[in-house]
Amino acid sequence: MVEEAHAETFLRGLRPQVARRRIASFRRRFGIAHLYLAEHAAFPLALTPDILYRLWANFPQDIHGEKLDIPWVAVADLLLSNLCDEVGVELYEMNVTVRAILLNDLISDPKFGPQRKAQLSDFLLAYVQQQLSSPDPDERDFARAQRWTAMAYTRPIEAAYELAKAFSDLDQNDRAEMGWIASLVETFAEPFASFPSLLTYARGIGYEARGDTERAASVFAKMTEQGVPIGVLGVDLPVPQRVRKHLHDETEKDATKEVSKPPAPIPENREQWRKEGDDHYNAGRYEAALAAYERALNSNPHSAVIYVSKGNALRRLNRQGDALAAYEQALRLDESLATAYAGKGDALSRLNRQEDALAAYEQAISHDPSMVYAYSAKGEVLDTLGRTQEARTTLEEALRAFERAVQPGLYLVDAYLGKGNALNVLKRYQEAISVFDWIIQLDAHNVDAYTGKGCGLYYLERYQEALAVCERSIELDPNNVVGYNNMGYTLISLKRYKEALATFTRIIELDPSYTTAYSGLADVFIALERYEEAQAAYEQALRLDPNSAAAYNGKGRVLRVFGRYEEAVIAYDAAIRLDTGNSNFYNNKGSALSYLGRFQEAIDAYQRAILLDPTNAIIYINRAMTLNELGRYQEALEDCDQAILLEPENSSFYRNKGTVLEKLGRREAVKQAYELAEQLDNNPS
């Protein structure tokens, strides 16, 4: 199908041999510098003197910094040459074959390559940004076409999705608009080679736009039955009414011919039940999905794929043990099924069997090296286990795997989810949110995308937004314990403790083995000064998962409140053994050691915390007060200044500084520090 699309595109252009002769003639006449401009000019879909002049001005060098020495007169020479045709007032197009060859030559040239293609994309996107909101519809259409061109070669999935949306929003009676968008898609036949359904749909729409309904119907007949909408990247593309009628009439004729034949045997129901299960699952009806998958397995007990689907439904219902059994049955039927290993890893992780989960994700990756989600999940487990450097390496590999995952299809959304989750763990939260927003564009009911977005917003301290997104994730899936967990911690940050308490209690009702919920519950109890209950909650978390670094850290906090500092240090050491990369654990240990008067050990702990997180002002203040106890006043003052530099609006830091300055006998500076603290208290930002 893709080859046919290529063929039709080139039929509207020159033969490749003729196009190459024209390009060679242009070079002989004007020289290599002019040809460089022509290659850059091949990137936009259409040219104006302004675009071409800006290309000349913006790209005077190759990617290595070498000057191209293109004279300004090359702009006029190119537009007036036989490489371009004037198609409107100051509007030019390159012949489609000429354009394709020049663009290919640009990308193949080591002086430019894919890097220059990306730079041209950025240039063109910036150039048309203002025109996209122009009151002139023709100017808007021109800008849209240029924008899609820029995206097609560097972000083909996004471009294909937007063009699919444009098709779906079309007035089916507006043949001119239909033809325009269809011709655009055909122009992108090469970058859209991974989207054969979109290319074929565009070809059919192109025939219909030209009034050739019969040929359009012959194209659509290969894609759909009875004119049912065609799904592309989560968008339902409608079949034009005239084509649907033609398909219906042809079906009626065939039915008349077949009337004398005996009826075909009724097919088995397993595919019907599997499809019904998928429909229920995608709509968040997991109990109904599970029932449908069970019926499908009654018809076909040897389908590994259906066992994976069953496992996914069970996992959504927080029945992790049953889900694990389903995934293992899938692997007995097909030991190379990567999705079964990934699902098994998810279930094991929720059962707090992190090392086993790690092995399952590694198996998934070995069977499908392009599975972005498996890399991301493996990285999250490594991070949970405190193996920070391995986690970072794996998560970076997840991002590289995403870039390699150019084939759209069944796992497109999973690839985006894997990328978003990886970015969240790497603390690149804004990028993660952009990815999750893209998934939501594709699928407005994707629970995992809302859950991941809520996590990113929480860490960016955009708590009200995070709360709204978490609520949406729970609305879509009332069993979503991760969504509830994100919401609980967001409510703590908003100091809405009673609601947070109810949220974590709800998680425990849904899944009594969900360790993080007990830690969250304990954090609420600490905020409410209900310390005995907090301690009991942390102890329960540790019974469920003896390898929970967060629970040991929380236990240390409670023990410190009780004045049991030696035991607190032991708890913090346990947390650090499990996660050596968490600066808060070292900071908390330093505080407990300071209370014990073990000041040098405390300073050593603070130093390690600062190495892990040099932007945390609290650690500097804690170290300053410990240095102050040792009489190392100048060092303490330097730490106070660093803390103030990081958080200049924190009044308590100026008071800490005043305390140190008193030891140094600097009375005027002491007075100034306390006055600044009072000003901040009286005029909070």
Element (H, E) at 237: strand 235-237
pLDDT tens per residue, range 45-57: 888 899 999 999 9
- Measured CA to CA, the distance from residue 477 to residue 666 in angstroms comes to 61
- Looking at residue 538, its amino acid is Y
Number of domains the chain is built from: 3
Domain-ending residue, one of 463, 494, 520: 463
Residue 678, in any domain of the structure: yes
Residue 546, in any domain of the structure: no
Q: Could you tell me which residue, 266 or 199, shows the higher pLDDT?
A: 199
Q: Could you tell me which residue, 209 or 641, shows the higher pLDDT?
A: 641
Same domain, 287 and 242: no
Q: Are 392 and 361 in contact (CB under 8 A)?
A: no
Confidence of residue 253 (pLDDT cuts 50, 70, 90): low
Residue 495, in any domain of the structure: no
- Looking at residue 78, its amino acid is L
Q: How many CB atoms lie within 10 A of CB 469?
A: 28
Q: What is the pLDDT of residue 267?
A: 37
Confidence of residue 265 (pLDDT cuts 50, 70, 90): very low
pLDDT tens per residue, range 295-306: 888 887 888 888
Same domain, 245 and 313: no
Q: Could you tell me which residue, 419 or 453, shows the higher pLDDT?
A: 453
- Looking at residue 29, its amino acid is R
Give the rounded percent of residues in the chain with a pLDDT score beyond 90: 38
pLDDT tens per residue, range 587-606: 999 999 999 999 999 999 99
Q: Which of 249, 248, 241 is nearest to 170 (CA)?
A: 241
* Sequence-distant (≥ 6) Cβ neighbours of residue 468 within 8 angstroms: none
pLDDT tens per residue, range 107-141: 889 899 888 888 898 888 888 888 888 888 878 88
Domain-ending residue, one of 463, 489, 519: 463
Same domain, 125 and 190: yes
Same domain, 349 and 444: yes
Q: Which two tokens stand for residue 427?
A: 């603390």
* Section 62-69 average pLDDT: 92
506: exposed, middle or buried (Cβ count in 10 Å: 0-12, 13-18, 19+) = middle
Same domain, 289 and 179: no
Same domain, 241 and 318: no
Q: Which of 141, 143, 145, 149 is nearest to 127 (CA)?
A: 143
Same domain, 328 and 241: no
pTM above 0.85, yes or no: no
Same domain, 27 and 174: yes
Confidence of residue 183 (pLDDT cuts 50, 70, 90): confident
Same domain, 44 and 120: yes
Strands (E), 238-331: none
pLDDT at residue 490 is higher than 80: yes
pLDDT tens per residue, range 5-23: 232 333 345 688 888 999 9
- Measured CA to CA, the distance from residue 237 to residue 161 in angstroms comes to 11
| Structural domain of 307 | 273-463
Same domain, 199 and 311: no
Q: What is the pLDDT of residue 39?
A: 93
Same domain, 211 and 128: yes
Q: Are 534 and 558 in contact (CB under 8 A)?
A: yes
Same domain, 242 and 341: no
pLDDT tens per residue, range 323-364: 899 999 989 888 888 889 999 999 998 888 889 999 999 998
pLDDT tens per residue, range 124-133: 888 888 888 8
Under DSSP, is residue 111 helix (H, G, I), strand (E, B) or coil? coil
pLDDT at residue 260 is higher than 70: no
* Sequence-distant (≥ 6) Cβ neighbours of residue 209 within 8 angstroms: 175, 176, 178, 179, 182
DSSP 13: S
